[in-house]
Amino acid sequence: MIRNSLLLVLLMVCSCNYFNPEQKPQSIARVGKNYLYKSDIATLVPAGTSKEDSLLLVRDFIDRWASQKLLIDAAERNLSDAKKKEYNALIKQYKIDLYTRAYIEEVVRNTVDTIVSQKELKKYYDENKENFKTNGTLVQLRFVNLSRNNPRFATISSKFFDYNKKDKKFWDTYKLQFKSFALNDSVWVDMSQVYAKLPVINPENRDEFIRPGKRIQIQDKEDTYLIKVKNVIDKNQVSPFEFSKPTLKEVILNKRKLELIKKFEKDITNDAIKNKDYEVYK
């Protein structure tokens, strides 16, 4: 009787395993013959995530994984052989492009000289000035924003408009009282930066105030703005050398990279011919 009972249990287990594929160790989901394992989601949930959010993240990942597997299976069954052949050729070419681009980028990164001298920058700028036009208005100015009730206002205003670099100690002392300031008027800035730093200047009054040599004193409810415009360059004019330097460096480096890639491709082909690894049959 006992023997018959054990035999029945074994038959039931075998029957269940026959109709339901055996679950892989550490697997958490299955689509056909594809399994998703615990190791596949080991780094999915960021540290500190709540239990509820963790469950949602994991479930969403599993559902997307299942959808992708089901879709690719359906595509492989239903797409024509001609269409699959076309896509496989594209995949093969994409792999070639991806690998070769990554390899060339690595070679360039380890080989190209990234130091660009001031002389080289200036030479390229002088030869290609017309390619470096302004996209907007550029301004050189200095400004101070301080309280209108500042007890040293008259002295600060006088020294500001008759600015002298020898007064560095004075400015180091009093600039702590300013709400904002910029005293270096040798730097070119885009007009958008002027609007951001000086709310008293706007597109409506720009032409009135932003003119070379303009001395401006504007008060609002609590503040006084002292502004001295040094120079202005309008849109579509040649950009100053100093303003163009970052772009110049990028252009020169890109030029070097393209030349290096061209040379590398030529050298690798010539080496292959020399070593008889590359032959063209007539």
Nearest to 144 by CA among 127, 125, 163: 163
The structure tokens 């990279």 sit at: 257
Q: Is the dihedral of CA 47, 50, 53, 56 positive or negative?
A: positive
Which residues are within 8 A (CB) of 276 and not within 5 positions of it... i.e. 6 or more apart? none
pTM above 0.75, yes or no: no
The chain-wide mean pLDDT, for the chain, equals 89
Mean pLDDT of 215-240: 92
The structure tokens 């550490």 sit at: 26
**How many other C-beta atoms can be found within 10 angstroms of the C-beta atom of residue 127?**
9
Query: What's the pLDDT tens digit per position in 167-214?
Result: 889 999 888 889 999 999 999 999 999 999 999 999 999 999 999 999
The CA distance from 149 to 266, in Å, is 72
Q: Is the dihedral of CA 250, 256, 257, 258 positive or negative?
A: positive
**In the chain, % of residues over pLDDT 70:** 91
Q: What is the pLDDT of residue 151?
A: 87
Q: How confident is the model at residue 22 (pLDDT cuts 50, 70, 90)?
A: low
What's the chain look like in SS3?
Answer: CHHHHHHHHHHHHHHHHHHCCCCCCCEEEEECCEEEEHHHHCCCCCCCCCHHHHHHHHHHHHHHHHHHHHHHHHHHHHCCHHHHHHHHHHHHHHHHHHHHHHHHHHHHHHHCCCCCCHHHHHHHHHHCHHHCECCCCEEEEEEEEEECCCCCHHHHHHHHHCCCHHHHHHHHHHHHHCCEEECCCCCCEEHHHHHHHCCCCCCCCHHHHCCCCCEEEEECCCEEEEEEEEEEECCCCECCHHHHHHHHHHHHHHHHHHHHHHHHHHHHHHHHHHCCCCCCCC
Q: At what angle do helices 81-111 and 241-274 cross, to 10 degrees?
A: 110
Residue 28, pLDDT > 50, answer: yes
Query: What's the pLDDT tens digit per position in 48-107?
Result: 999 899 999 999 999 999 999 999 999 999 999 999 999 999 999 999 999 999 999 999
Residue 268, pLDDT > 50, answer: yes
Residue 5, pLDDT > 50, answer: no
